[in-house]
Amino acid sequence: MQVSIPYNGEDHFLQEVLRPDVIGHVKEIYFAGDPAILPSGRRPKIKGSVRKKNGHYYFDRHIYHRQLRELIGFSSVNSISTNLLLNFSGILGKDGLRYVFRLLDMGVDTLTVGNIPLLEQLRKYFPKDIKIQNSVYIRIRTKEDLKLLIRMGISIFLLPPDFNDDFVKIYEFWSITKQNNITFKIMVNEGCIRFCPYRRSDQLASESYTISSTIEDFINNPLEMRTLTQPCRSYMNKNGIRKSNFIHPGNISRYTSFDPYLKIVGREFDNKKISKCLRAYMSGKYDGDLREIVANFKHSVFPVMEYNSDLISFRVSGNEVQL
């Protein structure tokens, strides 16, 4: 299977993650833009562009832009798509439009959109050959929802991860994408609880904090974001990974008939964890600690998670759980 992986902004990403033995499996790299212009909907994960001066950490946008130029150039040479995340609830202003055009000129070929008015704006202003994918921020629940997005111009459909274990719904969505020549993508390693009532409010809170604060506020006051998302964190810890959207690498063969390509989430991961996650889903097996490959999951009540490949199950704090 081919895979979409996150760019975390760390130094040596290309050398440490995109090694010769895996690069042929990487179909796409997705990333956030300059967070001072385009809020990604989350606390920025741009470690390689963070610098310290007079005891204060700050974001160096010039360094990040050089990193993106290198990433996009490398991807173009190696026939890897680059996907810019536009995960916010508004539309683009003049600065945002100019910035996106700049990245398209550099070689970006895909845009992920977080809301329908933004999708309409992109199809109005940007070239028709630009691929557009729905974000999980867009609420898709029915086949009518999907058909609407297709009419409005998406070319890649990301299955809402709440349906990762609903094969009737997956088949329904997949059939529509196949009829309309739409690429089908599945998010595999998210740890959020299925149909979590806090999901949308959590996303909006993090976006609002991004827009209303400077990037330096994020870097120097990370606990603020944790305070905003505390209800979400408590709910996830209470329900546990058994009710999450996570698909274990050992179970990925169940999805091969849908011919998807897999989206690995984890912009907060370091290079080593992204590489480990990529190899796990490439091989379809993983026998290590699930905390190393599950993203967006709070582990305070799960100190140990060991996978048993024979049982397709995992052990959580001493209790065997069937997946």
Number of helices and strands (H, E) in the chain? 11, 13
What is the crossing angle of helices 116-125 and 143-152, to 10°? Answer: 20
Take residue 84 and report the two structure tokens written for it: 């810019």
pLDDT at 218 over 70: no
Percent of the chain with pLDDT over 70: 73
Q: Is the pLDDT at 301 greater than 50, yes or no?
A: no
176 against 299, higher pLDDT: 176
Residue range of the domain that includes 16: 3-322
- Which of 73, 154, 67, 63 lies closest to 107 in space, CA to CA? 73
pLDDT, mean over the chain = 82
The pTM for the full model equals: 0.85
Count of domains forming the chain? 1
CATH classification at residue 188: 3.20.20
Helix (H) or strand (E) holding 32: strand 26-32
Confidence of residue 203 (pLDDT cuts 50, 70, 90): low
Pairwise pLDDT comparison (283 vs 214), residue with the higher score: 283
Provide the strand spans (E) within 33-76.
50-53, 56-59
Q: Do the beta carbons of residue 183 and residue 155 sit within 8 Å?
A: yes
Predicted local distance difference test score (pLDDT) of residue 191: 80
Quick: pLDDT tens for 102-140.
999 999 999 999 999 999 999 999 988 999 999 988 989
Residue 308 has a pLDDT of 37
Q: Could you read off the pLDDT of 51-89 as tens digits, one per residue? A: 777 777 677 788 889 999 999 999 999 999 999 999 888
